[in-house]
Structure 1
Amino acid sequence: MTAAGQGYAALQSAAASRYEARVADQNARLENEAAFRETENTKTAALAHYRRVAQLKGEQRVAQAANGVSLDFGSAADVAADTDMLAREDVQRIYDTGAENVRGFDISASNYRSSAKASRFAAKGAIVKGAFDMASTALGGAQQYSKMKAA
């Protein structure tokens, strides 16, 4: 009876470990999807920033032209160049932040995959342990029986 209980416990432990592996696999897939969405969101944010900068540059040009300022040289050209420079820096920060977020998702996905692998290994280990426990119990019972029979 004890051997059957050990076998059942081993099967239950293996099933729990396999379930943990499935959950970890699903979490890894969700992290991969989040990384993809973050990449797309970063591209969208950069595009939106470029559009805001284009609008700002247009407003600057209109204001300068309305005040009779030549747009091709001097302060007006410096303002345009500075606007472009700051826009590039801002977009670089947008992409850097997005890349850092994606890196976090990639690390989490990798951790989940490792956890799933460990859980699958634990499931196999539980089955092997259960088999050895059952065999040990059976051998112990056989040994006791042979002692009783000999006496």
Structure 2
Amino acid sequence: MCLPAATLALVGTAVSAIGTGVTALQAYSQQKYQQRVAQENAKLEDAAARDALDRGKQQVQQQQRRLSQEMGAQRASLAANGIDVNFGSAADFRGDTAMLGQEDAQTIRENNIREVQGFERQAGNYRSQAAASGQAATGALVGGAFGVANTLLGGAQQYKKLKAGGA
């Protein structure tokens, strides 16, 4: 039993429209997945930035403690040798130690800021990627809907021509 050409055109159109719709839904699902992954990655980068900031504060505190210990040891050593720690070379020596220790602390702060900024930039990149994936997901649905509509309209025109021709 052979189906009329018009019926075959309708079946072909339906199959094609379903295929277009399924493809659009798959593309939508894939983009939504990519969006969720990017959002999670942004959260991880935000957490890494907070952790780096906390670690940086601790490193600065440790540096300041080391500096205080070193300056205390210098003071004790100088005083034990009968040197006035507040005058002349001894005072200069202690001042230099304090200055170098503060420079080290500042270097730690600056390095920490750069590390945190790197995590923040990456988190921003992931958020942008998530937004782009969300837009691509919406585009996949809209494009799929237009593709289904286009397929159905094309099939309807073909059906109309075949019916008019008596097939």
Q: TM-score range by the shorter chain?
A: over 0.9
CA displacement at 1:91 relative to structure 2:
0.8
CA displacement at 1:59 relative to structure 2:
1.2
CA RMSD of aligned residues (A): 0.7
Structure 2: 5+ residue runs without aligned partners?
1-14
The number of aligned residues is 151
TM-score if structure 1 supplies the norm length?
0.98
TM-score if structure 2 supplies the norm length?
0.89
Q: Which has the larger radius of gyration?
A: 2
1:148 corresponds in structure 2 to: 162
State how 1:88-127 maps to structure 2 within 5 Å. 88-127=102-141
- Which ranges of 4 or more aligned residues in structure 1 deviate by more than 6 Å? none
Output the CA distance in 2 between the equivalents of 1:7 and 1:67: 89
1:71 corresponds in structure 2 to: 85
Q: Which of 13, 16, 38 is the aligned partner of 2:30?
A: 16
Letter in 2 for 1:21: Q
Alignment partner of 1:7 is 2:21: yes
Output the CA distance in 2 between the equivalents of 1:95 and 1:119: 36
CA displacement at 1:58 relative to structure 2:
1.3
Output the CA distance in 2 between the equivalents of 1:121 and 1:72: 68
Structure 1: 5+ residue runs without aligned partners?
none
Output the CA distance in 1 between the equivalents of 2:144 and 2:22: 8
CA displacement at 1:79 relative to structure 2:
1.0
